[in-house]
Amino acid sequence: MKKIIFKTPNALASAFADQLVNLASDKEVIHVALSGGSTPKLLFEILATTFKNNDWSRLRFYWGDERCVSPDDSESNYLMAKKLFFDPANIPSEHIFRVLGENDPRQEAERYGDLLYKSLPIVNDLPCFDLIYLGMGEDGHTASIFPHEMELMTHQEVCAVATHPTSGQKRVTLTGPVINNARSIVFLITGTAKYPRIKSILKDQRDFESFPAAHIQPTHGHLTWYLDEAAYEGT
Ligand code: 6PG
């Protein structure tokens, strides 16, 4: 596990954008799972401006989690990526595999799981992403695996229906085994609000069993924590 600390969210997002550009220059097709939340917004804005004309043709885009809403709903993780990155960078729709948030959640979790088995290389009997990037909530959730649904960290299906603990919003999320089966997992975490959980997981290394983010431990790949000083130092 590697930690990289940045002075500002912009420096963090720029560094990860560079990593994505390097990945996109690879010879193979690259399967990437995107995250939702506010942190990726900065990343998308950098990709769509500084790297707008980059050759993204080898990348295939999926999601680590999606809210069960229509694709034109402001809550949609797909809509955020479409507006901030896919449209400005002219990413072809055939390279984008969104979760159909408008569908029945259980049926969609099954459909998306089947899609992953058909589209991605299979390693250890599970779909294997080249890269999954994740955020972490103040409660230690990641993707849409929340502390009250820890069983999703060991769920036998690669996709499951999750429920947001306060809003009750249904989500479709990748589950722990397929996340941990990725070649590269990157957390993008910024802001002082995340410091208490980061302190428990990365500094004190205790009292973190109930935080899903603490259970992201790749079985054969690499894990990198991209953190700004606010999240890592609490300053
Ligand atoms: C979502 C995300 C979620 C997010 C964290 C952190 O759909 O909301 O996938 O897991 O990554 O809540 O969000 P911020 O980046 O906004 O702190």
Q: Kindly report the protein residue whose alpha carbon is nearest to atom 7 of ligand 1.
A: 36
Any ligand 1 atom below 6 A from CB of 39: yes
Tens of pLDDT, residue by residue over 16-71, are 999 999 999 987 899 999 999 888 999 999 999 999 889 999 999 999 999 999 99
Q: Is 65 in the pocket of ligand 1 (CB under 6 A)?
A: yes
What DSSP state is assigned to residue 155?
-
Q: What element of type H or E holds 15?
A: helix 9-24
Q: What CATH number matches the domain at 2-233, 3.10.20.580, 3.40.50.1360, 3.40.30.10, 3.30.200.210? A: 3.40.50.1360
Q: Which residues of 211-228 are buried (b: 16+ CB within 10 A; e: fewer)?
A: bbbbbbebeebebbbbbb
The predicted model gives 217-230 an average pLDDT of 98
Q: Find out whether 2 and 218 touch, Cβ atoms under 8 Å.
A: no
CB environment 40-50: b (16+ within 10 A), e (fewer): bbbbbbbbbee
Residue with CA closest to ligand 1 atom 8: 37
pTM summary value: 0.97
Query: What are the extents of the domains in the chain?
Result: 2-233
Whether 175 and 158 have beta carbons less than 8 Å apart is answered as yes
Asked if residues 49 and 200 have their Cβ atoms less than 8 Å apart, the reply is no
How many residues would you count in the chain? 235
- How much is the pLDDT for 91? 96
- DSSP conformational letter for 196: H
Pocket flag, ligand 1, residue 200 (CB < 6 Å): no
What are 125-179's pLDDT values in tens digits? 999 999 999 999 999 999 999 999 999 999 999 999 999 999 999 999 999 999 9
